[in-house]
Structure 1
Amino acid sequence: MNSNIRKHWTSLVGVLFVVAAFVTFFRYSIDQGWVSDAMKIGAGLVVGVGLALGGLSATVRSRQSVVSEIVIGTGACILFATFSFAGIFYDMWPSITVLIAMGTVTALVSAYAFRFDSRLLMNIALAGGLVSPMLMQPETDQVFTLFLFLLVLNAAYFFLSVAKRWSELRIAAFGGTWVLYAIYFVKFQPLMEGLWSMPIRYAFAAFVLYIAGFLYASWGNNRCFDGWNLYLSLTNGVLFGCWALYIWNGDVPAAATVAMIGAIYLIAGAFVYKMTGKAALYSLSHGFGGALLLLIAAAQTGAGLESKPLINVYLWSAVVVALIGIGRNRRLPILQWIAIPIWVVVCCYWFAVTWDTPRGEWFGVYIPFLNWGAISWIVLAAIGFYLAKNPVGKFASVQDEKVLANLYALLSHIIIGGLLTVQIENVFEEYVINPSGASLLQISLSVAWGVYAVLLFLWGSYNKQKLFVWFGSVVLVIVAVKAIFFDLSGEETLYKVLAMLLLGLLSFLISWVNGKWGGKQTASETPLSSNDSDTGVSP
């Protein structure tokens, strides 16, 4: 803010008092019935134009002064108050007349301010233009005229704030417009029925206007997309979101409102990134903010459905894949590091909820390993194996990358174990109908886990990765404890005998493999060491 405004800010307050007195006199004269409406409008025009011409005359006779700016600004404020009286709240002038009058005064004041760098004048005129409608007590609902009035003001003040870099103009216009919207809403209590009621139209128009306005202001300021433009643009979304959620309550799902705001912010962030060619704070905040809002909205998809957990897994898996893909394509490791904890959380979430989630059958027929539930396990495991084969790097040392790669692969193998467990249980639930079904299920699970333990052991031995050798061994021990102490309880059957023999053969196979390949490992290898590949570990 320049020195003139700092020195003469009290003059701005004084002008506001004058405008308040003028508006109060208008209202009082209405109550008393002293003069006709036409006389009041005429008096306002005479006083406003007279003051403006007087200030302009002083500028012509001598050099521009602060006094002339104050006088012209006061005249503009009185004219704005007159227009508010005549067309906005008392329906005496048609909208087009108010628009022409407002546009003319605003254009003349803006031209003078642009020519003579009259920053104080613009601040005075803006304050009067915003305060006049606030002080009026409306008798008719001429809201359309009011918002035309605000559109003209915002267009002029945004242009000058960019052309002259007077940032306070757009800040005041933004704040004053939303305050006027709140006054309109409280005073008129407009109808909110329907998807496209007048209140939501005005709020949406203001929202889009300021998204575009602050983009324009940032672009005009040497493509500097930060500072007040950034903060007010984000505040604009919050204000619109609050009003939209209140107005649309019960008519439009909250998720749809959040998704709409998120999409607009995402587009704005992508536009700035495309035009600047760099990840500026504006593009990052709007892009990530918009994406987050879209995710929040998408997370509400399927609310109330039994399959909601399955939808969540697919949604967040898609987010993880998108972050990894964009991160690798754009060489932004931070996106991949963001994706990894999301993937881990989704895995834990799916382990917790999968037991009560519908199987995701196709056309009402259950096909093992070919259903939506099974595919969700496979997707999660595939993400983990991909991370294991393609470490993120940059933020971790080579040794740490190898350790993390082993952990990704390990978690992915646990996911495969979960897949086997759930699918076998579903097979028995769907197709096995006999009294001993529960017992057969437990034996079948033990055999499946035993086979998988051997595969893990074979893989670890072949690739010289002790982590998987140990993991396979631990799984086999767990299977042995389960089979011997739990699965054999109750009536013994031929099926149990065959299962125990198979598990025994698997154990002998592991011993043979350990003797065949184990001697080839060097003493220097550690439990978390990987193969010789620089990319970490193969799953």
Structure 2
Amino acid sequence: MQELFKKHWTSLLGALFVIFSILYLFKYTLDQGWITNSMKTVAGLLSGVGLGLVGFKLILKQRFLIGEIISGLGGAILYATFAFSGIYFALWDSITVFIAMLALTIGLTVLSYLFDLRILMNLALLGSLAAPLFLRPEQDQTFSLFLYLLVLNSGYFWLSIRKHWSEFRLLAFVGTWLTYAVYVLHFDPAMDTLWSMPVRYASATFFFYVLGFLISSWKVNARFDGLNLYLGFVNAVLFGSWCVVLLGGILEMAYPLAVMGLVYLLLAWTAYGISGRQATFAVSFKAIGGVLLLLLAFSEMGKGLAIKPLISVYVWGGLAVLLMAGAKRFRMEGLQLVSMVIWVGVTSYWFNTTWEVPRGEWFGVYLPFLNGAAFAWILLAALGFWYSLSVSFAALKEDGRRFLSCLFAVAGHLIVGGLLTLQIGNMFTEYDLGSFWILNLTLSVTWGVYALLLFLWGAYSNQRLFRYFGSVVLILVSVKVLFFDLSGGDSIYKVLMLLIMAVISFTISYINYRWKTVPAAPSSSSGPEYPDDDPFPLAAERRAAGKDAAVE
């Protein structure tokens, strides 16, 4: 086909000019009122049929090029006549237009299929799509218009699949969406309801092409890439853009995005099965597109609600978990990196918004550490510790891996500190504990106990990192107690709090003493020896065993 167009493109261009001149003549005579509408219809039918017969006679005489061009002009005139009579002035009712369109399309399709009349069909398709654009009816005959487009698309898609003439899909797709745009802009139809006519026609067009491109890919050796993939992407973009225009102020975009996301996940699953369960680029592209659309939908849901940040954390945190699981399952470092970037972003977002987010009560009852906000903290902390345990990039040296492991472990513990602080504060507010206890003292004791637990875990796992971090927490708590908590009036609670902090400090001293005095086991029975200043001995042991993982 490419070589044919290179040789005869000037002839085809001339034929296009003839088609457009005929269409313009239709409109001009209409505006001038020179002849009646019935006379135009009869003239269009006679000229279209006459050119078609002349063209086929030439084809039978082996003069294919000129014969196809003339026959194509005849087909284009007939399509324009049907559009004029059934859409522009509604001289024919919808069923008459449908029958005429169906008969012409079937006839041209069968002849083109049997005799490979590719140029004829291209010209007829161009004429049929150009007719509604040029004529632009004055009456809202939208049902006839889209019935006209349905017949065209069905016939040309079938021929495109059977003969592998891909340009038919492209022309029909572009022409249909362009006609839809002209329909909305020219008619300015009512768009003040959820299921208005423009929404219906846009939805029908979108789903028609989703199904059409799927069948086309299936029939062409089960290949889902190439033109079908690209046009499918454009189809989603166009439909989403029209939803913004048509549904603005009526429905949140979250719902159309969710529907599109489910559609493309279903497409990915179908393509995966048809292609022999191979995760090809096209399958992955559809799956990733579906997931992103769902994420965008979930991110938009609840817009304007106080609980919106909590929904966003669940959605993006869940995506980070899935990406990390996929990275481990398929050994893809790229997915691991994307998961970590998402985690950093959503954690920063949560720290910025959590103070004003509702507590996530269950049926109006607040349960400390068992509520929606607490689960968000727990999700982010668990991810941080998972990264610390599993971080591994081939390009990183040992020191780089240790640094990342340390960084994620510290970040995870900071999130735990945020969880403790917020939940205890909410508990005081909910149960009015401030009437007989002091919130600041409770937080100091809690953080002191947390520092003790860090030391205990460091001693148990033989990791100096936790001792270092616990020391920092203990120092900060001590500064808070001595310079802030003890200010103001005297209270028996302050005495009790000082005693508790003393116990915590003595316990930590005892742990440090026992840690330092425990003799090292012989290397023959306990594995490799590590330098005294190595804060990650268990991590080194795991790496020596081939697990290549840093321990938090």
Considering the TM-score relative to the shorter chain, is it more than 0.5?
Answer: yes
1:526 match = 534
Look up the match of 1:218: 217
- CA distance 1:27–1:343, shift in 2 (3 Å): closer
Which amino acid counterpart does residue 536 of structure 1 have in structure 2? A
2:86 paired residue number:
87
Question: Counterpart in 1 of 2:484?
Answer: 486
Structure 1 partner of 2:428: 428
Counterpart in the other structure of 2:496 = 498
Contact 2:252 2:301 (C-alpha < 8 Å) held by counterparts: no
Residue deviations 1:92-139 (CA, integer Å, cap 9, x gap): 122222222222222222223223323222221111111122221423
Q: Give runs of aligned pairs for residues 63-462 of structure 1, distance below 5 A.
A: 63-276=62-275, 277-328=277-328, 334-390=334-390, 404-432=404-432, 440-462=438-460
Please name the residue that 1:511 is paired with: 509
> SS at 1:489's partner residue?
coil
Residue 475 (str. 1) matches residue 483 (str. 2): no
Change (3 A) 1:390 1:137: closer
In 1, distance between residues paired with 2:25 and 2:425? Answer: 83
Q: How many residues align?
A: 536
Give secondary structure in 1 for the equivalent of 2:538: coil
Q: Does 1:19 align with 2:19?
A: yes
2:524 maps to none
Local SS of the residue matching 1:506? helix
CA change 1:215–1:363 in 2 (3 A) is: closer
Q: Is the 8 A contact 1:403 1:528 kept in 2?
A: no
How big is the shift at 1:472? 0.8
List per-residue Cα deviations over 1:394-435 (Å, max 9, x = no partner): 776777656544444333222222222122222333345668
- Aligned to 1:369, the other structure's residue is in SS state coil
Which runs of 5 or more residues in structure 2 are unaligned? 521-529
Structure 2 CA distance for partners of 1:465 and 1:111, relative to 1, 3 Å: same
CA spacing shift, 1:122–1:529, aligned 2, 3 Å: farther
CA RMSD of aligned residues (A): 2.6
- Per-residue CA deviations over 1:14-67 (Å, capped at 9, x if unaligned) read 22332333334334444555544333322222211111111111222x224211
Q: Secondary structure at the match of 2:427?
A: helix
- Of 336-345 and 172-181, more deviation after overlay is shown by 336-345
What letter matches 2:271 in structure 1?
A: V
**CA drift at 1:188:** 1.6
Aligned residue for 2:525? none
Inter-partner Cα distance in structure 2 for 1:26 and 1:305? 56
8 Å CA contact retained: 1:5, 1:120: no
Query: Structure 1: how far apart are the matches of 2:326 and 2:549?
Result: 21
Label 1:164 to 1:433 Cα distance change in 2 as closer, same or farther (>3 A).
closer
- The 8 Å contact of residues 162 and 217 in structure 1, kept in 2 or not, is answered as yes
Q: Distance in 1 between matches of 2:455 and 2:241?
A: 57
**Which segment is superposed worse, 232-241 or 15-24?**
15-24
Q: Which moved more, 1:383-392 or 1:64-73?
A: 383-392
TM-score (norm: length of structure 2): 0.89
Deviations 1:179-198 (A, max 9, x none): 11111122222122322221
Alpha-carbon distance between aligned partners in 1 of 2:347 and 2:99, rounded to the nearest angstrom = 63
Counterparts of 1:430 and 1:446 in 2: how far apart (Å)? 20
Q: Deviations over 1:117-166 (max 9, x none)?
A: 23222221111111122221423322211212211221222222233332
Q: Partners in 2 of 1:530 and 1:402 — Cα distance?
A: 12
Aligned partners of 1:185 and 1:510: how far apart in 2?
Answer: 74
- Residue 530 of structure 1 aligns to a residue whose secondary structure is helix
Go from structure 1 to structure 2 and tell me whether the alpha carbon gap of 1:392 and 1:189 turns closer, same or farther (over 3 Å shift). same
Q: In 2 relative to 1, CA 264–398 (structure 1 residues): closer, same or farther, beyond 3 Å? A: farther
The separation in 2 between residues aligned to 1:239 and 1:434, in whole angstroms, is 57
Alpha-carbon distance in 2 for matches of 1:194, 1:52: 45
Residue 535 of structure 1 deviates from its aligned partner by: 6.4
Structure 2 residue 549 is the aligned partner of structure 1 residue 536: yes
Gaps of 5+ in 1: none
Distance 2:11 2:495 in 1: 99
User: 1:119, 1:20 → 2: CA distance?
Assistant: 20
Q: 1:221 to 1:375 in 2, by over 3 A?
A: same
Residue 433 to residue 408, structure 1, CA distance change in 2 (3 Å)? closer
Query: AA paired with 2:225?
Result: D
Letter in 1 for 2:468: W
CA positional deviation for 1:298: 0.9
Partner of 1:52: 52
Listed one character per residue, the Cα deviations across residues 79-101 of structure 1 (whole Å, up to 9, x for unaligned) are 11111122121111222222222
CA deviations on 1:326-367 (whole Å, 9 max, x unpaired) are: 555566554444323222332232222222222223343333
CA distance in 2 between partners of 1:137 and 1:300 (Å):
37
Q: Flag the 1:48–1:286 CA change in 2: closer, same or farther, 3 A.
A: same
Structure 1 residues 523, 401: CA separation in 2 closer, same or farther (over 3 Å shift)?
closer
Q: CA deviation at 1:77?
A: 1.0
**Aligned-pair identity (%):** 46
Q: Does the 8 Å CA contact 1:245/1:257 hold for their aligned counterparts?
A: no
Q: In 1, distance between residues paired with 2:116 and 2:397?
A: 58
State TM-score, norm by structure 1: 0.91
